[in-house]
Amino acid sequence: MKRENFPILNELVHGQKLVYLDNAATTQKPQLLIDAIAKAYSHWNANVHRGVHHLSQVATQKHEEARQKVAKLIHAQSEEEIIFTKGTTDSINMLARSFGDAMVGEGDEIIVSQLEHHSNIVPWQMLCERKKAVLKVIPLQEDLSLNIEAFKEILNEKTRLVSVAHVSNVLGVVNPIEDIIRLAHEKGVAVCVDGAQSVPHLAVDVQKLDCDFLVFSAHKMYGPTGLGILYGKKEWLDKLPPTEGGGEMIEHVSFEKTTYNVLPYKFEAGTPNYIGSYAFGKVIDFVQEVGLEQIAEHEHKLAKYLEAQLALLPNVRVYAAGLPKAGAVSFNVYREDEALIHPFDVGVLLDRQGIAVRTGHHCAEPLLDYLQVPGTVRASVAIYNTIEDIDAFVVALKKAIMMLQ
Ligand code: PLP
C-alpha cells in the first residue's frame, strides 16, 4: 500500500532489496514530506508569529493550519489543546514538570505500568524524587496483559496521575486504555496516554477516550524528526504552569513581573519547528486520505500473518502471543538445548539479508527484566509493508536460525 511514495524503500542494503520492519522506532518518509520541506525553505521560510512581513505571515498561517490538522487527527476539541514539542519524550518531560510542579506533593502517587518505554518512566521518577512522591507500577499478568485488578488496588486517594502506553512499543499489545481512563476518573485521577505507538496505527479520538493528556511523535507517523505533540484538555492546560520561559510564551515582560501568553503558546517558548509542523500537516492529509481505519486493518493483517508464521517455527518464542496487537511483534530464538540466541546475533544476520528489525531492550528495561531476557527481536510494520515483506523476513529468519543453531 503506497510503497511507491516512499523513495528510501528502493534502496539496496548489502546488495539486497530493503525490507524495513523497524517502524516502531521510526517510519520512513513519503516523497511529499521531502518535497514539503524543500518547498517551505525555498519559498516562504521566515520566523512565525513575530513578523508583519509577507513571508512571516505565510509561515505563521501554515504552522497554525498544521496545528488544526493535528487537532482534527486526534479529535481534540480545539487547536488550543495542541502543543508542539520536540517529541513524545519532550512532551512527557514537559508534563511531568508542569503537572508535577502544580499538582504533586510529598507522599502523592503517580502510576505507570511494567511495560512502559523509559520516556514514560524516568520523567515521573525524576518528579517523584523532586517532590518526595511515590511511583507505583501496574503489574502484568502471565499472558503479558496489564493486571487491571491490581491497578484498581493501587489506585487510591493519593494517586495524582496515571500515565500508561496505549500500545506497548515492545510487545505491540493494545492496552485496555478505555478501562484505565474510566477507573482513574472514577477516583478523580487524571490520565496521560502515551500514544507514540497508537496514534500512527489506530484511529485515536481523545474526546471518546476522555483522556486528560495524550503524547506522540511525528517521526513515528511518516513525519519529520524533532516534532511531537502534547495534547491536554483545555481545563488542565489553563491551570498548569509553563515549564520553559522565553520568547513566544509571554504576554508581557518586565523585570517586576511577567505575564504569560494564551494557550497553546504559553507552553511553546522559542522558535517552534514550523517547517516540521507544516510538513507533518501534509503527512496528516496523506494519512487521512488513506484512512486510519484502513491503515489499522492493513497493519493488523500483516502483524497477524507475521505472528502466525513465527508460531510455525519450533525454536521461536513470540511474546504476548494471541493478544490484540497494533503493528509490532516481539520474539526470541532458542537453540535446541533451550539456550537463548542473543537477539543481536539474529538482528545482524537479518541485516545481512536486507531485513531491518530492532533488537535489544527497546528502551523498556523493566519489561525486559520481567521477561528475564536481555532483549527481543522486534518486527514492526507500517502502511507500506506487504505480505511479501513478511515472507522475505521469514525466509531470512529461517536462514539465520540455521546458521545460529
Ligand atoms: N513512548 C513509546 C511507547 C515509544 O515507543 C517511544 C519511542 O520509541 C517513546 C515513548 C519515545 O519517543 P521519542 O523518542 O520519539 O521521544
**Catalytic: 363?**
yes
Task: Look at residue 50 and tell me whether its pLDDT is greater than 90.
Answer: no
- The CA radius of gyration of the chain, in Å to the nearest whole number, is 22
Run of H or E residues at 181? helix 177-186
Distance 194 CA to ligand 1 centre (A): 8
Helix (H, G, I), strand (E, B) or coil at 199: coil
Q: CB-hemisphere CA count at 13 Å for 18?
A: 15
> Which residue among the candidates 128, 192, 211, 363 is catalytic per the annotation?
363
Asked whether the beta carbons of 193 and 209 are under 8 A apart, the reply is yes
Contacts of residue 399, defined as CB under 8 A and 6 or more positions apart, other chains included, come to 349, 353
Residues within 6 Å of ligand 1 by CB? 87-89, 117, 119-120, 165, 169, 194, 196-197, 217
Distance 231 CA to ligand 1 centre (A): 15
Interatomic CA distance for residues 281 and 269, integer angstroms: 21
What's the Cα-to-Cα distance from 162 to each of 215, 269, 284, 377, rounded to whole Å? Answer: 13, 26, 28, 29
User: What pLDDT shows up at residue 1?
Assistant: 52
What tens digit of pLDDT does each residue of 184-215 get? 999 999 999 999 999 999 999 999 999 999 99
pLDDT digits (tens, 9 = 90+) for 66-116: 999 999 999 999 999 999 999 999 999 999 999 999 999 999 999 999 999
Give me the residue spans of the domains in the chain.
32-289, 292-404
Q: What are the pLDDT digits (tens) for 284-296?
A: 999 999 999 999 9
Beta pairing partners, 192: 163, 213
Residue 328 near residue 379, CB atoms below 8 Å: yes
CATH code of the domain made up of 32-289: 3.40.640.10
Q: Name the one residue in this structure whose C-alpha cell is 511531537.
A: 228
Distance between CA 348 and CA 357 in Å, rounded?
Answer: 9
From atom 6 of ligand 1, which residue's Cα is the shortest distance away?
196
> Which segments of 7-82 does DSSP mark as H helices, in order?
31-43, 54-73
| Correct CATH for 292-404 of 3.40.50.300, 3.90.650.10, 3.30.390.30, 3.90.1150.10 | 3.90.1150.10
- With the most atoms of ligand 1 within 8 angstroms of its CB, the residue from 89, 121, 170 to mutate is 89
Q: What is the pTM of this model?
A: 0.97
CA–CA dist 178, 197 (Å, integer): 16
Report how far ligand 1's centroid is from the alpha carbon of 314 (Å): 32
- At 359, is the secondary structure helix, strand, or coil? strand
User: Is-same-fold flag (32-289; 292-404)?
Assistant: no
